[in-house]
Amino acid sequence: EPEVTQTPSHQVTQMGQEVILRCVPISNHLYFYWYRQILGQKVEFLVSFYNNEISEKSEIFDDQFSVERPDGSNFTLKIRSTKLEDSAMYFCASRERLAVAKNIQYFGAGTRLSVL
């Protein structure tokens, strides 16, 4: 079964450093998402991406965050200058298309980001 792949599984970084979290969505999917889960809290929506642009973003997704689909397969989340509070599990998800019947998101295993 096709799956969403995220790398690395665990990223440790120093406060103020830039990090890039990588995702390979399912190959025929058109919608891409990032979510995060701070330890002990809900999974929260960060951003959705379609047709090479952001379609929706949350209040969390400020100027420190950016997303990119640099080629036909990767989908990345960049945090420009990490803060302690960015420590969380980050999930990538993808969805096939807009139609109601295909409104199912498939999730990767996540990247645990630890900011020291």
Partner 1 sequence: AQSVTQPDIHITVSEGASLELRCNYSYGATPYLFWYVQSPGQGLQLLLKYFSGDTLVQGIKGFEAEFKRSQSSFNLRKPSVHWSDAAEYFCAVVSRNAGGTSYGKLTFGQGTILTVHP
Residues that bind partner 1 (CB under 8 A): 4, 6, 31, 33, 35, 41-45, 48, 50, 55-56, 91, 93, 95, 98, 100-101, 103-110
Q: Smallest gap, in angstroms, from Cβ of residue 14 to partner 1?
A: 25
Contact 115, 11 (CB under 8 A): no
- Kindly report the backbone phi and psi dihedral angles of residue 97, in degrees, each rounded to the nearest multiple of 5, phi listed first: -160, -175
Q: Smallest gap, in angstroms, from Cβ of residue 89 to partner 1?
A: 10
Query: Nearer Cβ to partner 1, position 82 or 111?
Result: 111
Query: Nearer Cβ to partner 1, position 18 or 55?
Result: 55
Query: Nearer Cβ to partner 1, position 65 or 106?
Result: 106
Q: Which residues contact 11 (CB under 8 A, 6 or more apart)?
A: 19, 21, 111, 112, 113, 114
For 59, the 3-state DSSP assignment is coil
Query: Nearer Cβ to partner 1, position 33 or 75?
Result: 33
